Amino acid sequence: MNRCLFALFTCLFALQVFAQSPGQQLEPRQHFPSPILDIYSPDAEGWIFAGAGSNGLSFAKRGAVRDETYAAQVILFDFPPTDSDEEFVEFVKQRIAEMNPAPRFRELVSDYQYNGERGYPCVDVNMAFLDTEAVISGGTGELTLKVIARYCRHPEIQEIGFFAAYSYRGKQQDPGIEPDAESFIAAVTVPES
């Protein structure tokens, strides 16, 4: 039954984003509803629809200076059973390490905190990497990648998880990223039955 719901989500999700084209401008906090997750684009001007797949979607925005970009995404993934909060956090750490492999990504700082305030298990992530092969004007180079995310197990379909992530990539740090990231992540919710 849960796999059927996941397949249904994939079909409905594809229909919701079918009218969107990569590069299309978005309204602040544009709604992308589905039976499994309610998703909103970031609540600011200048964001574009970056793309969608069967497991999620992403948004992007250029920064104020050259080679500075922002991204926001929501992704569904298979989530194996875990026996404790600590095992849940370890699974998230391992998944992030696999998605950002060394030597390209050098972890600068990371913080993982279990969070049950939504009534289902989540892990809040706040980290920074040095991306040694970032695409920049004229080739590749080193940029800082700051990521704020929340990874959760879906409360109704236990075999899947989802994450909402907001990131900044640039030569300098952006100290103002936290409020925008928290607003984007908080808006990704499981619809009430």
Half-sphere exposure of 142 (CA within 13 A, CB side): 10
Joined tokens for residue 44: 């600011």
Q: Which of 124, 133, 128, 138 is nearest to 172 (CA)?
A: 128
Q: 129: exposed, middle or buried (C-beta count within 10 Å: 0-12, 13-18, 19+)?
A: buried
Read off the pLDDT of residues 102-143 as tens digits, 9 standing for 90 and up: 999 999 999 999 999 999 999 999 999 999 999 998 899 999
Give the separation between CA 170 and CA 179, rounded to whole angstroms.
Answer: 18
Read off the pLDDT of residues 79-109 as tens digits, 9 standing for 90 and up: 999 999 999 999 999 999 999 999 999 999 9
Read off the pLDDT of residues 47-84 as tens digits, 9 standing for 90 and up: 999 999 888 999 999 999 999 999 999 999 999 999 99
User: What's the DSSP call for residue 6?
Assistant: H
> Domain spans of the chain?
2-98+112-124+148-186
Does the pLDDT value for residue 16 go beyond 60?
no
Q: Which of 163, 156, 149, 152 is nearest to 192 (CA)?
A: 156
48-53/69-78 β-pairing = unpaired
> 2-98+112-124+148-186 has which fold?
Protein Transport Mog1p; Chain A (3.40.1000)
When pLDDT is cut at 50, 70 and 90, the band that residue 3 belongs to is: low
